Amino acid sequence: DTAVSQTPKYLVTQMGNDKSIKCEQNLGHDTMYWYKQDSKKFLKIMFSYNNKELIINETVPNRFSPKSPDKAHLNLHINSLELGDSAVYFCASSQSSYGYTFGSGTRLTVV
Amino acid sequence: AQSVTQPDIHITVSEGASLELRCNYSYGATPYLFWYVQSPGQGLQLLLKYFSGDTLVQGIKGFEAEFKRSQSSFNLRKPSVHWSDAAEYFCAVASPRNEKLTFGTGTRLTIIP
């Protein structure tokens, strides 16, 4: 069983569209995250949720809206996609900082 | 604010040679420190982590790292690299309070025969 699973793995879409990325973890962790990896491989946190509550919201455009229906799921919805949104998005989970487990990533390409 | 510096963007070593990847952090207290590896097109795999205690940490795949508080460093080492070690390596720091994981810019490791 995959510990942190993301879907889809690849996403190609046109500018202006709205898309969602789903993430699920089966580790029982309380905290989940979204990270963005840009074309230069730089990884930056976007959001974190703890037990469905938003904890960290870095300076991310409000076109990005995370949603956590329960502590095992953290989805990322993106409105009005722009070329600059093209990146790899990683979901992760952790329990009291004793280790962060990452998903395999979603490569988003906006054309 | 916490930050991580990986001064080497790209390192090339011969297969069988030893390896050291540098990592310096900035944080007001003792942070949690991590090394992750990312193979091309793959996710992030945890190599090792330091929270407290023994400053020499053993990880998977034969890697180790040493926490040096006086130098604010957490360098990654391996005595003999294998071709399969070619990947991107990320050092990261987390605050024990808010669990925010901050990454360095990564070091790309190339292995030559």
For residue A103, give how far its alpha carbon lies from the nearest alpha carbon of chain B (Å).
6
DSSP result, B66-80 = EEEGGGTEEEEEESS
pLDDT in tens, B86-106: 999 999 998 777 668 899 999
* Residue A98, pLDDT score: 63
Record the tokens describing residue B56, joined without a space: 């020499």
Mutation site for A-interface testing, chosen from B44, B51, B52, B97 by largest number of A Cβ within 10 Å: B44
From CA A48, how far away is CA A29, in angstroms rounded? 12
Q: Which residues in chain A are contacts of B99 at CB distance < 8 A?
A: 31, 48, 55, 94, 96-97
B98 interface with A at CB cutoff 8 Å:
yes
Nearest to A46 by CA among A18, A78, A69, A19: A78
Q: Cis peptide before A8, with omega less than 30 degrees from 0?
A: yes
- Confidence at residue B101, expressed as pLDDT on a 0 to 100 scale: 87
Residues A49-105: tens digit of each pLDDT? 988 888 888 878 999 999 999 989 999 999 999 999 999 999 999 887 567 899 999
Position with higher pLDDT, B28 vs A41 = A41
Domain ranges of chain A: 4-110
Contact B51 A98 (CB under 8 A): yes
Superfamily of domain A4-110: Immunoglobulins (2.60.40.10)
Asked if residue A23 has pLDDT above 70, the reply is yes
- Report pLDDT digits (tens) over B28-86: 777 899 999 999 888 899 999 998 889 999 999 999 999 999 999 999 999 999 999 99
Contact at CB, A94 and B32, closer than 8 angstroms: no
Q: What is the pLDDT of residue B41?
A: 81
Neighbours of A109 (CB within 10 A): 14
Structural domains in chain B, CATH included, are 3-112 (2.60.40.10)
CA gyration radius, chain A = 13
**The two three-digit tokens of residue A72, written as one number:** 């095992």
